[in-house]
Amino acid sequence: MSTPVNLNTIRQAPKVLLHDHLDGGLRPQTVIDLARAAGYSELPHDDAAELERWFEAAADSGSLERYLETFAHTVAVMQTEEALARVAAECVEDLAADGVVYAEVRYAPELFQERGLTLDQVVQAVQDGFREGERRVAAAGGRVRIGTLLCAMRQNARSLEIAELAVRYRDADVVGFDIAGPEAGFPPTRNLDAFEYLRQQNAHFTIHAGEAFGLPSIWEAIQHCGAERLGHGVRIVDDIKVDEDGKAHLGRLASYVRDRRIPLEMCPSSNLQTGAATSMAEHPIGLLTKLRFRVTVNTDNRLMSHCTMSSEFAALHETFGYGWEDFQWFTVNAMKSAFIGFDERLELINDVIKPGYAALLA
């Protein structure tokens, strides 16, 4: 008899997270502590439980732009090396406690220069924090590995500079690059020079596309920019017609994405808040999983979307009836799609993920 599926048992399952924003995953109490230390007085609450509820409610706005406004508070308190290192170390501890064995955590270094930090100081402070977090987890008998993705903000014009930064730190566990921020009005092709540079450097990148804008954004991200993965990508369903008999007909772009096994970094809870999906039951992840796209499950922003990897899996279990075999499939999909080297991915699949799910299925 296999282990029953519930939030507690899901926590014990090995999970892989490819899409998690560092500045979207702070502990509420840490936001309060750091605000106090920095003399930041704009927080809407100084009680951790109330602040936690505020973030979720404010992010639940129906628009990506308004969802993103809540980041003003987390970004404001992450302007020193100490603050960045603390947030990074706690992020690792929280992911490990949730049973995440490999995560790619992303952030935009350009947002943390309000108090004069250089881009290099920002990256070094976060890397120090991640390594410290990994040490704490290992000392407590756990196992987790963190890779970093550096984001450039779509509304700014610094993507080439950030791409160069990512390449400079590629041997210090910065494993890739991304563009984030408002999607409508800021097409991926605005950053072509950055993506061309990264390809010439044999570097990896994903692009937030098909979240708050439709197929043209996805098409540009893949065919003009060369994205290896899609952040969200939910709107790929606009290129799929399901007829009355339930048979799916894929357009050229949807076929390309599926045939090429382009990973979709899906973040269901976040999509409900930004209006990218109307309900969990109608979330495109159901259809895309059925059609065997390379679907992965992610948190996006654990604070704003009030979720963990385990709670996302639990919500999918409730809505679609997914169980251990499906969770293993999502997890192996994610591990195959990670930006670390093939040997390490294979080792995690064979030594950690498969035995973990075999035990739950036994």
Ligand X SMILES: O=c1[nH]cnc2c1ncn2[C@@H]1O[C@H](CO)[C@@H](O)[C@H]1O
In whole angstroms, what is the distance from residue 333 CA to residue 263 CA? 8
| Closer of 208 and 302 to ligand X (Cβ) | 208
- The yes or no reply on residue 208 touching ligand X (CB under 6 A) is yes
| Closer of 74 and 328 to ligand X (Cβ) | 74
- The yes or no reply on residue 300 touching Zn ion (CB under 5 A) is yes
Report the amino acid identity of residue 296. T
**Three-class HEC string of 218-267:** HHHHHHHCCCCEEEECHHHHHHEEECCCCCEEECHHHHHHHHCCCCEEEC
CB of 197 to ligand X, least distance (A): 20
- Tell me whether residue 306 is annotated as binding: no
Distances (CA, A) of 246 to 158, 242, 291, 359: 45, 6, 12, 35
Contact pattern for ligand X over residues 37 through 76, marking x by CB under 6 A: ---------------------------x---x--x---x-
**Residue 18 binding: pick among Zn ion, ligand X, none (C-beta 5-8 Å cut-off by kind):** none
- Tell me whether residue 283 is annotated as binding: no
CB of 26 to Zn ion, least distance (A): 15
Is there a contact between 32 and 51 (Cβ–Cβ < 8 Å)? Answer: yes
- Tell me whether residue 286 is annotated as binding: no
Is there a contact between 162 and 117 (Cβ–Cβ < 8 Å)? Answer: no
Contact pattern for ligand X over residues 106 through 135, marking x by CB under 6 A: xxx--x------------------------
- Tell me whether residue 259 is annotated as binding: no
Stretch that binds Zn ion, among 123-131, 248-256, 295-303, 326-334 (CB under 5 A): 295-303
Collapse the DSSP code of 80 into the 3-class scheme (helix H, G, I; strand E, B; otherwise coil) and give the result: coil
| Closer of 54 and 329 to ligand X (Cβ) | 54
Q: Considering only CA atoms, which of 213, 353, 306, 349 is closest in space to residue 25?
A: 306
| Closer of 213 and 324 to ligand X (Cβ) | 213
In whole angstroms, what is the distance from residue 103 CA to residue 25 CA? 13
| Closer of 211 and 220 to ligand X (Cβ) | 211
- Tell me whether residue 23 is annotated as binding: yes
Is there a contact between 261 and 304 (Cβ–Cβ < 8 Å)? Answer: no
Q: Where are the beta strands (DSSP E) in the chain?
A: 15-21, 100-107, 145-153, 174-180, 206-209, 229-232, 240-242, 248-250, 264-266, 295-297
Positions touching ligand X (CB under 6 A) are: 21, 23-24, 64, 68, 71, 75, 106-108, 111, 151, 180-181, 208, 211, 270, 300-301
Positions touching Zn ion (CB under 5 A) are: 300
Annotated binding-site residues for substrate read 21, 23, 181
